[in-house]
Chain A
Amino acid sequence: MRNQLVSSSKTQAGSIEIANITKGFQRRGGAFHQVLGEISCTVADGEFVTIIGPSGSGKSTLLKIIAGLETPDQGGVYLAGQPVTAPSRRLGVVFQQHVLLPWLTAKQNVLFALEANGTSARTAEERNELAEYWLEQVQLLDAQDLKPGQLSGGMQQRVGIARAFALESDVLLLDEPLGALDALTRHDLQQQLVYLSEHESRTFILVTHSVDEALLLSDRVLVLSAGPAAVIQQELHIPFARPRDRQTLEQSPEYLELRRHLLDALTRGTQEQKMGMQPIADGRK
């Protein structure tokens, strides 16, 4: 399998270790809300891991902690053995909303990412070529001079994906990157992500609530329990050979079995919570 091939090689630049982290927030009015219970896991260099969980389970908080945008209350995150204390260019992020700067064109947005830290090993011409290369990878070379406001939602998110890949970070963190898109565009972009992730030996951590997205893209799926104090309740290895093709995948009985299992795990979590916390809600279902 791909991840084993890569992780057996010498480079461990993109390995992530999450060690005993917890996170909570003080709510207005004083009550403390424990979002994440104790969470530990490791992601090997070059592995594609998906964190899936019911809404409100703290998936995005977990990803923000890995990205260094939030500090855990306890424990720590380690990238290639080094603690992550602040956001870093080695941890690229694709945000839930596209987060393109509206006053820059698609290409300028990618170039901004390449130049933002003020130092670059590349010449201006090389950066230009790199930006164009990644815009071409997401089929947006023709739209490179358009502003985000002139692009559709799917195109905007593709620019966001091109920007994150162009950074050439060891790790790419994807926070529900396709969550805000319509079903057809999402389907199309999932296909592109499969292609890109299989052609790039980087570590990917994806947060999603789509079971099909998780099964299509991942080597491993971590299932969070329903919050508060969410923990990893299950870990599933997704055994399908790469390159993956959605059609063949969806026809295999193993896929259906995994899908059913995953949905089961996700809904069981929320139902238990609902039964425990607000028994009246059952009548409405």
Chain B
Amino acid sequence: MTTSSQMRHRRGTRDRQAHRLKAFIGFVVCFAAIIGIWQLVTTGYDDGGLAPTPAASWQRLIEVLSTALVYNPPNDFGIVFHLLASLQRLAVGFVLAAVAAIPLGLVLGTNRVLHDALDPIIQVLRPVSPLAWLPVGLALLRDSEATAIFVIFMASLWIILINTIDGVYRVNPLYLDLAKTLEATWANRTFKVILPATLPGIVTGLRTALSTAWLVIVAAEMIVGNRGMGTFVWNEWNAMNINSIIVAIVIIGVVGLVLDRSIALLHRLIPTT
């Protein structure tokens, strides 16, 4: 019995290893194919050398990374400072949105009348691109930095709000019956029953909102920023340096992935069964 279970275990490990190897080979093949197609499309393309080739982009990546820590105000910043500026705006706008949306979501989730009263407004504002708020921010705040944060705030707010409300609706109704039979106080009911039970919905909201905000910050910074990943992309475009934009795309993608994965870790902290 032991030997057969050991054999089964070993076979399972072997199957997993074989699967990983196959997936890795597949990845290498696909990656090489993409680079190859990229090379084919861009070489001999008569555009005055604008189109980024894989080799030139790689070259530029090395350059950008080697000057990553340059700090010569007001105009010459390494990529690290652009990245930090974007992350800082993201953090401020995102945290402000979470602070506003989570309590509001808990209130609307537990108060049907208030929810139904505000729902039409939320539903109309939700599908609006956060960038549409940018001129409103500029007009009212008269400050490009505050406007960028405002845009991030608007990008995150509705997603966190709607997911929090949905999370409250998904709370096991028996938990609420339990709270009633125990004559739980408002504070105990809210903070010891509803809030922990809503956390999965809140984390889903935070995760989606952060991804969306990261999408939006680059676009917003192209217009209002004096430093940031969006500004970097815009400056390099003005310098006709398309290789840099490929570099920026890779960096934005990697940072976005890291942000998403780190907030997804919050899911593990919540027991749900």
The residue from A67, A117, A149 contacting B185, defined by CB atoms under 8 A apart: A117
Which chain B positions have C-beta within 8 A of A97? 174
B180 touches A101 (CB 8 A): no
Task: Report if A87 contacts B (CB, 8 A).
Answer: yes
B8 within 8 A of A: no
Q: Give the nearest-CB partner of A147 in chain B.
A: B271
Identify the closest chain B residue to A119 (Cβ). B185
Segment at the interface with B among A73-81, A108-116, A135-143, A272-280: A108-116
Cα A14 to Cα B196 with chains together (Å): 34
| CA of A233 to CA of B21, assembled, Å | 69
Q: B182 interface residue, CB < 8 Å from A? A: yes
CB neighbors of A among B217-273 (8 A): 270-273
Closest B residue to A164 using CB positions:
B181
In this complex, how many residues of chain B approach chain A with their Cβ under 8 Å: the count is 23
A118:B193 contact, CB within 8 angstroms: no
In the bound complex, residues from chain A placing their C-beta under 8 Å from that of B196 are: 101, 103
CB pair A118 B174 closer than 8 Å? no
Residue among B180, B197, B272 making CB contact with A87, cutoff 8 Å: B180
Say yes or no: is A86 at the interface (Cβ < 8 Å to chain B): yes
| Minimal beta-carbon separation of A58 from chain B (angstroms) | 17
> What residues of B have a CB within 8 angstroms of the CB of A68 in the complex?
180-181
CB 8 Å contact bits of A190-221 with B (1 = contact, 0 = none): 00000000000000000000000000000000
Q: Which residue of chain B lies nearest to A89 when distances are taken between CB atoms in the complex? A: B183
Q: CA A148 – CA B183 in complex, angstroms? A: 22
Number of contact residues on A: which range applies?
20 to 34
Interface status of A46 (Cβ within 8 A of chain B): no
By beta carbon, the residue of chain A nearest B196 is A103
Residues of A contacting B271 in the complex (Cβ-Cβ under 8 angstroms) = 102-103, 147-149
Task: Find out whether the CB atom of B174 lies under 8 angstroms from the CB atom of A95.
Answer: yes
A-side contacts of B34, CB under 8 Å: none
Which residues of A, 113-136, contact B by the 8 Å Cβ criterion?
113, 115-118
Q: Which of B178, B183, B184, B188 contacts A99 (CB 8 A)?
A: B178
B145-185 with Cβ < 8 A to chain A: 172, 174-175, 177-185
Chain A residue contacts of B22, Cβ below 8 A: none
For A112, give the chain B residue with the smallest CB separation: B192
Q: Could you say which residues of chain B place their CB within 8 Å of the CB of A91?
A: 181
From 78 to 94 in chain A, residues with beta carbon under 8 angstroms from any chain B beta carbon are 86-89, 91-93
A87 CA / B160 CA spacing, docked (Å) = 33
Q: Are A99 and B175 in contact (CB under 8 A)?
A: yes
Of the residues B174, B175, B183, B270, contact of A117 by C-beta under 8 Å: B183
Contact B185 A118 (CB under 8 A): yes
A69 at the interface (CB under 8 A from B): yes
Q: Write out the residue numbers on chain A whose beta carbons fall within 8 Å of the beta carbon of B188.
A: 112, 115-118
Complex: how many Å from CA A196 to CA B205?
A: 46
Known: A95-B174, A112-B192, A115-B188. A103 touches B183 (CB 8 A): no
Across the interface, which residues of A come within 8 angstroms of B178, CB to CB? Answer: 93, 95, 99, 101
Q: What residues of chain B have their CB less than 8 Å away from a CB belonging to chain A?
A: 172, 174-175, 177-185, 187-189, 192-193, 196-197, 270-273
Task: List, sorted by A's number, 14 A–B pairs whose CB atoms are closer than 8 Å.
Answer: A67-B181, A69-B177, A93-B181, A99-B172, A99-B174, A101-B193, A103-B196, A112-B182, A115-B188, A116-B183, A117-B182, A117-B188, A147-B271, A167-B182
Residues of chain A at the chain B interface (Cβ within 8 Å): 67-69, 86-89, 91-93, 95, 97, 99, 101-103, 112-113, 115-118, 147-149, 167
Known pairs A92-B181, A112-B188, A117-B184 / 9 extra A-B pairs, C-beta < 8 Å: A67-B181, A69-B180, A97-B174, A99-B172, A103-B196, A116-B183, A116-B192, A148-B273, A149-B273
